[in-house]
Structure 1
Amino acid sequence: MDATERMKELVAELNNYNYHYYTLDAPLVSDKEYDALYDKLTALEAESGVVLPDSPTQRVGGELLKGFVPHRHLAPLWSLDKAQNIEQLRSWNTRVLKLVNDYNAKNPDQPLPEPCYAVELKFDGLTLNLTYRDGRLVQASTRGNGVTGEGILAQVKTIKSIPLTIPFTDGVIEVQGEGIMNLSALAEYNKTAAEPLKNARNGAAGALRNLNPKVTAGRKLSAFFYNVGYSEGVQFQTHQEMMQFLRDNRFKVNPYLTYFENFDDVTEQLAEIEDGRSKLDYLIDGAVIKVTDFRTREVLGYTDKFPRWAVAYKFEAEETTTVLEAVVWNVGRTGKITPLAKVEPVELAGVTVQNCTLNNVGDIERKNLKHALGTRVFIRRSNDVIPEILGKVTEESDGGEIVFPDHCPACGFPLEMRGAHLFCNNKLNCKPQIVARISHFASRDAMDIETFSEKTASQLYDELSVREPADLYELTLEQLVKLERFGEKKAANLLQALEDSKGRDLASFLFALGIPNTGKATTRMLADHFRSLDAVMQANAEELAELPDIGGIVAESIVGYFADPFIVTGISRLLELGVNPTAPEAPSAPVENSFFSGKTVVLTGSLQLLTRDEAAERLEALGAKVTGSVSKKTDLVIAGEKAGSKLAKAQSLGIPVIEDEEELLRLLNGGAAE
């Protein structure tokens, strides 16, 4: 076989692996195997001096470009009319129905069907328009003014999910989509970036409109496609047909695409999308609703600006700008000193924002915020999480300086810098640390001491010198009733709650201790694996690192915690005072040959007859592996009410789905599959 034929084979093989990895999220080979083939191709290209047009080696980015070349689109790229609320959305649908009914009244022999609707996510990135001629990508451009955009072919070729060649070779097509930067890719990029990106939208737009394609490649962009704007040699009757054409030609289509006959179902779906928005790994700012029938689209036509057959439903903004007014420094239970930004009040995602997180000293420096007091900054809020400052609006260091403390703002102890964080090491006499540790110990997921609060912990610190959790179990009724706001009943209730907490299970006790770098899942696993407090305390780093989801850092953190004499003494006191963490019951062996044996199962949506935790526990007892995300490796998806993107992805991948909860219970109880 000559070099060119071998190169063709390698290109086809590597492009197939790229398609499964970047488009289907279902890798076929390891990175090591892929890299070996890629290196062979690179060597052959160097020896022969030939690079095939669809070679994956073109995706690393070439030479610096001199400028953007205008590209006139073969068909206009329309803007979308916007609905800001459900009333405006219903008004749009009323206009659609009126136009359809008017047409049908005038054309009774060829009536239009009742409108059906597609609901897609509205991505917050940069619109792409790709031109393919005879199956080969020959141009890519921005939207521009809808008629003419900027040619960005070299930049787009670096996006590995975009096919350089497609199976459709019967003419010219233009395909529209959205170039995006995944939030996980943004976070990874910012870890090492000399100039961190403020947000994913700017990251994608800045990369695609950068004259250096190597910069574009470095941001690891992705893209979703949702329209064929111009086509020769192929026609579509429905939106469903067009989307299947895109999938068949290896374009990445977002799995969150749903179809409805009833418009009320559309509004319910919008509410579900908005609820799940914060869980997505990319930015969206709304959803797009389209009439699916193409003949109906032709009849409805266009206004001067918009198609009448589609509308964008806008969600409330999750990003905005405001003025950074001040920074205060808070002390946590581990001694970590965290900066909190005070900003000029601004409405964002339905609430008034006045405080934003800044994470740590390193975060302030990375985001060019050291001299940002009094200047305008970008902020983002997701779900109910405290908003985060993303960066300054301008690049200049033109504001007041944020002064980093060198002594603890609570106790005055000298601070230590560890990595990007400042720490106060005065754990014996720093009030915020002690109050937070005691509050955590008493919290619901820990020792679950009823009636206890952070306010109670602070009062006990001030008035009864409570300095560690063991001190709680030495409190007396006589001491408590003398406190302000503590009557005899409240005091008795607290003492009873403390008594009741002595028999909490081992996982809750370990979580209550507040071991650094561990959460509820880790402490539950430690309890289930070691089954005694002493065994956990004696475990070495090698033993711990062998457990699932415990890496070297967490293992060392656990070992270091139990090596601290202060900690060991505190635990000994707790045990002497009657705290007796109960070991978990020995796990029963999984039922063999059940319907779920060996299956990888994903739970999504709300179940009514079982909780999600109960369902997961029963599935695992029957030999299933319960995971959190849908992929090609998933064998089964169990979908409750309001199941969203996971269900949509399962359907797009052809994965079996159980949506009937009665059927789920029947199978859990040993029934056979029908």
Structure 2
Amino acid sequence: MTEPLDRMRSLVAELNLYGRQYYTQDSPTVSDKEYDALYDELAALERETGTTLPDSPTRRVGGEILKGFEPHRHLARLWSLDKAQNADDLAAWEQRVKKLIADFNAKNPERPLPDPEYVVELKYDGLTLNLTYRDGELVQASTRGNGTVGEGILAQVRTIRSVPLTVPFANGTFEVQGEGYMRLSVLEKYNETAAEPLKNARNAAAGALRNLDPRTTASRKLDAFFYNVGFLEGDVRLTNHRQMMDFLRENHFPVNPYLRYFADFSELTEELAAIADRRHTLDYLIDGAVVKITDFATREALGYTDKFPRWAIAFKFEAEETTTVLESVSWEVGRTGKITPLARVEPVELAGVTVQNCTLNNIGDIERKNLTRALGTRVFIRRSNDVIPEILGKADDSEVGGEIVYPTVCPGCGSPLEMRGAHLFCNNRLGCKPQVVGRITHFASRDCMDIETFSGKTAEQLYEELNVHDPADLYGLAADDLVKLERFGEKKASNLLASIEKSKTRDLAAFLNALGIPNTGKATAKTLADHYGDLDRLMAADAEELIALPDVGGIVAESIASFFRDPLVQESIARMRAAGVRAEADRPAAEAADAGHPLFGKTVVLTGTLTTMTRDEAAKRLEALGAKVSGSVSKKTDLVIAGESAGSKLTKARDLGVAVLEDEEELARLLGL
């Protein structure tokens, strides 16, 4: 057996080298025929010996169809990026960064941060990948998901030949982030023989990676670029972006050759314009560029908002434009009763996507753009920030087409419409099916009450067959009623009722988001929940009080106050609370904590994996005791709680002499468990 295994190891090393040269370095040294001959020899030896080495290229071939995607909890959070839509937004971000650095240096003269240096990277338009390596071997791959938990797609990612299955760094666990994408040339070649051509490279990559059949993924011949190390344990300490890129290259990850560093922000701004001008020459889609601070100590000092790192920003390119024919306009009813015009255009390719529908926003938008008589005429369209298609106006303003007829009654229920400013509204809140179905669907969605398996079709069926016209009606559903519905067996009914019951414990921020208060969203709901901590206090607040809150302007304040004055809203909330919906703050207010508790007022950092609870659960319990949970270790940290596989934070805590708690029994005692 030794001789065949030695030959197999030699072949694997040789083939992986040729693979890196071809897929990662773009400099092949052997022909396809030579590579295939070596590959076939290796495959024959594997069949003969019944052995496949961990890093064998044959492991990339798609295997059996999977039954479903398993959730994967990331070792470190994958953050979203704040967006700069134009040069003014970018300049404002730079000023914020400089101010934060100046403020930090004023408070910490003994360890000042350096002058900011920036790195510019391309912003790829594919699917985010999060890869986990343990002791040098790829052990998991997942999608971004909600930033904390994604879907495991290891079998699919193994088919990407530029992704290393093993790496030289074998001293622990680390996670890297990158983007899976399909080259435009590969898409074009694929479509030449495909029974069903793919519409665009973006959807081709995302669809392939989220396909339960890895053979489908393999057939798309995807690629990947990597740009971040999100988690790293062991004796390697990265202090800046250059070192991180070197780490990725040394471990055979494909890194885009485009990386530019700038100390002068005006030069950086000029470079962004140059990237936008030459993006059409690339063999892959990008929808912008990413600007980051290079120094990691500065990144740590600047920290994060609830959503974004303060040390990075995505610069969105001006959208590409083209012309097409405006074919028709329909009118859609939203959950708030707003009637929105939807334009149907002659299908056209724009920024790698086939566009058929465009929003017209409202009647004011139609009239401002001289589109009242534009049916059948050629119009300019733009994918605003490369995402939302919009009509800019007629290609020839003198051309007269068919008239866009404004509705006088609701297309959903036939009720008379009311004009409010530039918008049409249907006021039949309880009897307009699209409104009711939209509100209930929103109420049940993941960021709201998180009622699992609930969909728009479920809401529509409950509306039509069980007279569910308000979110509060969900809490009165009975199993006997549900099992009589089409496609509802006992198990489905039981699962739905269990999920509805579970939703009663959702926190106040989620409940406020679920209510769908006009002119507010998830962030505002959290602001309200954090400030008031009690639903009754919020419902009693007037606009003058609300406007004093951060990021709450006059229009939003009046929307919130008038929403809670509405008798129908008050009745709905009362019914839900009577049914057991708690709508309580996620954690007790700080004043409710025991000031005598040893953790009260302490800054605590969690690291590693806890065996008795998740880190989120531990964080909530700590905050309930009056502790402040931080994401980074510094001299101001009072305690680091270290679970299994704790990494650099534990090392830093010991270097700084910060107290460390590794005994989970002692932790449970402190938390009162």
TM-score by length of 2: 0.49
TM-score by length of 1: 0.49
| Structure showing greater Rg | 1
